Amino acid sequence: MPPSSGPRLSGMQKQVLNLYRGFLRAARSKSAEDRPKIESIVFVEFRHNAKQVDRKNFIYIGYLLHRGKKQLDQLKSLDTISLSSFDLGLPQTKHTKH
Amino acid sequence: MPTVSASYATFTSPLRLTFPTNQVALKASNLKMVSMGWAKNGFPSLRTSRFRVSCAAKPETVQKVCDIVRKQLALPDETQLTPDSKFSALGADSLDTVEIVMSLEEEFGISVEEESSQNITTVQEAADLIEKLVQGKPEA
């Protein structure tokens, strides 16, 4: 690959961005009604974590990536339209997990 | 030498990019040297074979890209947006850039490879890539 003219991204950052892209792609395949809902949750989740999670907290980011990938698979494979399963426990405190 | 300055002129005018003549003139007897010159100037993704395509980015494509970027970043009307505007300078982070590329994909009906999308930092780069992909797309 030629040296990038863009910002230098770490492998982990690339993974996160690829995951983000994956979610937005998956959202496209949903109905016009569900898509905005899914997208808004994805936006919020990624923004939230981008702000809240320490960029050096690789273990936690790795966990989020792993979890995100599984959720993405679910979103893709099922005709998932329900978002309740997708309403994630946000990092620490914010949400109670069920 | 005349050949070199000719190609220099051809490449420079549509792209508004300049590189020092002496750098090219030194030993640039073929186009490969020119493309090396580009690499040194920070346009590594452009190779000789892509010059033609890159130059061809139509004004309406650039305009469309500008509109999408403006919408995506919710830029106020008074913000200057030129083809050379860097997304990061407009306040976009990497997530925004992904969103921009996704919107562009939908708008133009193309699919941008992950690797290329990470190299897009300006409107011009986006427009060039789109032109390339739209041309490569089989007529549906």
CATH code of residue B121: 1.10.1200.10
DSSP-derived 3-state class of residue A39: helix
Are residues B48 and B27 both part of a single domain?
yes
> DSSP string of B72-138?
HTT--TTS---TT-BTGGGT--HHHHHHHHHHHHHHHT----HHHHHT--BHHHHHHHHHHHHHHSP
Active site residue B96: no
φ/ψ (deg, to 5) at A56: -95, 0
Are residues B50 and B87 both part of a single domain?
no
Confidence of residue B81 (pLDDT cuts 50, 70, 90): confident
DSSP-derived 3-state class of residue B29: coil
Burial of A85 (0-12, 13-18, 19+ CB in 10 A): exposed
pLDDT at position B56: 57
Interface test with A, best of B102, B122, B129 (most A CBs within 10 A): B102
Residue ranges making up the domain that contains B43: 2-55
Domain count, chain B: 2
Tens-digit pLDDT profile for residues B26-61: 444 444 444 444 444 445 454 444 444 445 578 888
Are residues B20 and B32 both part of a single domain?
yes
ipTM above 0.95, yes or no: no
- C-alpha B31/C-alpha B28 separation (Å) is 7
Q: Return the DSSP state at A92.
A: G
Contact A6 B44 (CB under 8 A): no
Confidence of residue B112 (pLDDT cuts 50, 70, 90): confident
Average pLDDT over residues B71-95: 88
Are residues B74 and B112 both part of a single domain?
yes
Share of chain A above pLDDT 70, in %: 71
How many CB atoms lie under 10 A from the CB of residue B123?
Answer: 27
Are residues B44 and B68 both part of a single domain?
no
Tens-digit pLDDT profile for residues A58-84: 999 999 999 999 999 988 876 666 555
B78 pLDDT above the threshold of 50: yes
The minimum CA-CA distance between B47 and chain A, rounded to whole Å, is 10
**Is some CB atom of chain B closer than 8 A to the CB atom of A86?**
no
